[in-house]
Amino acid sequence: MAYCADYEVTMDANDLMDKVVDKWPEAFEGFNSKEIHCVLTKGKKSKKALILKSVKHPFHVFIDKPYLLEIFDEVWKEMNNKQRHIAVFHVMNAIPSGGFDREDSNYSKLLQPDIKMFSTEYSALHGVPGLCDDSVIVDPGEKENKKSKDIVRNPIKIENIDEDEDEDENVNENELDEESA
């Protein structure tokens, strides 16, 4: 049987959510971390550190928030700051746009995991799979990452594909002329 001492209201995850929203305001437009009730659960085992739940009527009347985020104390304490940011970022992606708007049809709903959700996380982590375990992963909560400044990324555009092939042919022809001379 659960006791009141096993649960405690916390703002840890809300603070991390605010940092993520500050970093990517366009990705989380309309996101309000104050509308998520965070509860720290002690003495309960879980494989996940965070579980996001939708709060429906009549429980919505009591906490007046559309979402409940359950944080499992044992797993949460074992995580470093970067792993916590990534876990919070993962949970934030499950809330649809309009999830905090009482007039919207998406109010208090959760998204089912799909390719769009995972591609958002993948691109935000700079295309590094293995989410929490890799040391190369960029921390979503950091304002700027020193490693990402050093990496030069040149995205491929459809217009540039033909130009690149023409340049490669010119380089190969020039190399052949130099070798034959």
pLDDT tens, residue by residue, 161-175: 555 444 545 545 555
Determine the straight-line distance between the first and last CA of the chain, rounded to whole angstroms.
87
**Domain locations in the chain as residue ranges:** 4-150
- The letter for the amino acid at 102 is R
Over residues 74-116, the pLDDT tens digits come to 999 999 888 898 889 889 989 998 899 989 998 889 988 887 7
111 closest CA partner among 129, 98, 125:
98
The pLDDT value given to residue 1: 47
The pLDDT value given to residue 24: 83
51 closest CA partner among 21, 35, 71, 28:
71
Where does residue 100 fall: left (phi above 0), alpha (psi -120 to 50 degrees), or beta otherwise? alpha
Question: Residue with structure tokens 């991390």?
Answer: 16
What pTM was computed for the model? 0.67
